[in-house]
Amino acid sequence: MEDFNIILGTDSYKVTHYKQYPPNTTTVFSYFECRGGKLNGAVDGDVKFTEVVFFGIQYILQKYFTGQVVTREKIQEAKEVYKLHFGQDIFNEQGWEHILEKHDGRLPVRVRAVAEGTVVPVGNVLFTVENTDPECFWLTNWVETLLVQTWYPITVATNSRKQKEFLAVYLAETAGNLDGLESKLHDFGYRGVSSQESASIGGAAHLISFEGTDTVAGIRFARKYYGCSMAGFSIPASEHSNITAWGQQQERAAFKFILEAFPKLPVSIVSDSYDIINACERIWGEDLRSVVEARSSDAPLIIRPDSGDPVIMVIKVLNILGEKFGTTINQRGFKVLPPYVRVIQGDGIGTHTLVKVLRAMWRERWSVENLAFGAGGAILQRVNRDILNCSFKCSFVEIDGHGMNVFKNPVTDPGKASKRGRLSLHRSADGLLYTEQEGRGDPNTDLLQTVFENGKLLKTFTFAEVRSRSQIPAERLEQLKQAEEERVWAI
């Protein structure tokens, strides 16, 4: 990563921390966890997160940590910047010179992490960092700033997987199988994220649980960093300009033209430019009805409403289409439109509204086979570090050759208490993951693996492995089904 200078890749206050640790400190050992807790489910509404998908450290390590990341030029640049930034010489020039001379510019740190894609209950250690050169005790927490940015891929991956749980429960309940589950939540979010890099990272994080995306950057990311040649798919779809360019009087002509432009593929046509109800009743349901009925089941028309309350619009559109094209009743007793016509709701969808639409469809006896969702900002942008309470804390130091377990335990917030000593992650006999503290863990069963050491990426995972590790277990779906039964289906 040429135009990145890790010596300038940290919070300003960390530049002064080498002067603040106790004299003769030789080791700083820190860890990262997602505490979950107080802001739980803040993505929207009453969705709760009790476990997280670990994802994304591989990218950060590969892009910003591997190889010779310290050079004389970068030290010089940092020296100038910090002299101006602090107004005096407090930059640890000797410390970085030491890394350049003794380690050939490679970072003398060890990062141990749980395998990417692992689903870990909140409150467990996810990765640890320690210095491998006693003179570089100050480096461990220097790199916190960059490594804690894993909060973003972890949160996006976790939130998309949570939506997949709800979709799976309602698809199983209303269709009797999980066919098409992976294409039920399509990423529309490319334009709504803050940067190209966020689109890449977040786009890929969504694709751990789904295979539908319009965020092309996520495809490229998965190819480049996780060895996946094609992580997601899309289809021909219209935007408003393709309809409005024909003028309001020609909406029907536009619809017909676009349908006929793609005879052998599913085609999605946004239908709310003027009046979605008229579009469904008159244009799709009468004027173009035979054109729609001529579509094959693997090249359906997919009607896209794009305004109005999502819950109301989905039910209204399904009811009109059911009237016009007829429905069958599936083995679960739910209504299904003919296979040549489907609906995608891509407006106003976040975890909370997706659940509300699913619950409304259940109440109106519509099978989830009929619908897919698109989501943008809610998938990639409406997330922050507080949702899973991701944090990095020191838990062990060595001073004058003596090891010491350290921690914080604020009387003002017990939820912020940190773990103590050297940490490891283990799986109990009944399959649950738990953290051993104070160095008590058996190294032979530690699920944390050394993924980075002294400038080298030692362990990487493919996107296929990440996807396989984050599968949703059947018992989790059973649990969520029970909860929905009590909360919604019983009423």
Ligand X SMILES: O=C(Nc1cccnc1)c1ccc2c(c1)ncn2CC1CCN(C(=O)c2ccccc2)CC1
Interface ranges with ligand X (CB under 6 A)? 180, 183, 186, 188, 212, 214, 234-235, 237, 266, 268, 300, 302, 304, 342, 344, 346, 370-372, 374
DSSP reduced 3-state for 135: helix
Least Å distance, CB 248 to ligand X, is 21
Find the shortest distance in angstroms from Cβ 373 to ligand X: 9
- Count CA atoms within 13 Å of residue 165 on its CB side: 26
Contacts 24+ apart (CB under 8 A), 20-25: 21/137, 21/138, 21/397, 22/397, 22/399, 24/399, 24/400, 25/137, 25/397, 25/398, 25/399
| Complex with ligand X: residue 26 or 370, whichever CB lies closer | 370
CB nearer to ligand X: pick between 359 and 416: 359
Smallest separation, CB 367 to ligand X (Å): 10
Closer residue to ligand X (CB): 57 or 237: 237
Q: How far is the CB of 237 from ligand X (least distance, A)?
A: 4
Enclosing H/E stretch for 256: helix 251-261
- Min dist CB 188 to ligand X, Å, is 4
Write out the H or E segment, with its range, that includes residue 10.
Answer: none
Tokens of 299: 């090249």
Residue closer to ligand X, measured from CB, 268 or 395: 268
Distance CA 249, CA 16 (A): 67
Q: How far is the CB of 166 from ligand X (least distance, A)?
A: 16
Residue nearest to ligand X (CB): 268
Q: Which residue has the tokens 């399904």?
A: 318
Q: At what angle do helices 474-484 and 151-175 cross, to 10 degrees?
A: 70
351-363 and 151-175 are packed helices; what angle lies between their axes, rounded to 10 degrees?
0
Indicate the SS3 state at residue 173: helix
**285 or 300: CB nearest ligand X:** 300
Instruction: Specify the residue, 316 or 426, whose C-beta has the smaller distance to ligand X.
Output: 316
Compare residues 132 and 234 and give the one whose CB is closer to ligand X: 234
Contacts with 420 (C-beta within 8 Å, 6 or more apart), sequence order = 395, 396, 405, 406, 407, 437, 438
- The residue ranges of DSSP E strands in 85-141, in sequence order, are 109-113, 119-121, 125-131
Residue 158 Cβ vs ligand X, minimum distance, rounded to whole Å: 23
